[in-house]
Amino acid sequence: MNNGSDSRALQTSAEKMNWWNIPNTITTARIVLTIVLFVTLALHSQLGYFPSLVLFVIAAGTDWLDGFLARRLHQVTALGRVLDPFADKLIICGTFVFLAADPKMLETPGGLHPWIVVVIISRELLITGLRSFLEGQTVDFSAKWSGKFKMAFQCILAIVAFLYLEGGGTPTQNPAVWTLLVIFTYGTLILTVYSGAAYVVIGLRQLRQLEA
């Protein structure tokens, strides 16, 4: 009896220790770095946008690294499956909220306006909820190519928006950067809606199979 209890306790302890492996440590560091990023964004009038740009690039650059290491080192954990998408949503949605709130961005034709950010956040909340439910039913709902392209466009959009605001925040001062801003803003919007619809279709199909 005691041997069985000790074995289960040791197994539970090992699983908890395994949570704090290299991939999860990188993900946690990304979350901390994102909080620092938000502080610099809140102080952009004193610091400018360049420090935020550097922090964003570093934080976003680790997005692929933790997932790659988790698969390569066979260290995929339940905690990692929760932390990784949370970190992604935190940095993208939070950064877009700060960028869209800048008066210069609000006045920019074709820029990253609040309604676009609302669409992006709504999509993320919907798919996150759907994924949580389905994976709770042991249904695989991993990222598809459209979601990966969407994430790439979102990161590029944020970088272009940083450069645009750092450079003055008007189309006349930075016509080339403004053009890129418009292209990636609406490219991201289209990919966000498309990938969201694709996930919903897959999710509804999985739900019907569960009910069958």
Average pLDDT over all residues of the chain? 83
What CATH number was assigned to the domain covering residues 2-211?
1.20.120
**Model confidence over 35-94: pLDDT tens digits?**
999 999 999 999 999 999 999 999 988 877 666 666 676 666 666 677 778 888 999 999
Evaluate if residue 193 carries a pLDDT over 90: yes
pLDDT mean over 183-211: 88
DSSP per residue over the chain, as a string?
Answer: -HHHHHHHHHHHHHHHHHHTSHHHHHHHHHHHHHHHHHHHHHTHHHH-SHHHHHHHHHHHHTHHHHHHHHHHTT---HHHHHHHHHHHHHHHHHHHHHHHHSHHHHTSTTS--HHHHHHHHHHHHHHHHHHHHHHHTT---PPPHHHHHHHHHHHHHHHHHHHHHHTTSSTTT-HHHHHHHHHHHHHHHHHHHHHHHHHHHHHHHHHHHHH-
Domain residue extents for the chain: 2-211
Considering the entire predicted model, what is its pTM? 0.83
- For residue 117, give both structure tokens: 């950010």
More confident position, 168 or 9: 168
> How confident is residue 149, by pLDDT bands cut at 50, 70 and 90?
confident
The letter for the amino acid at 182 is V
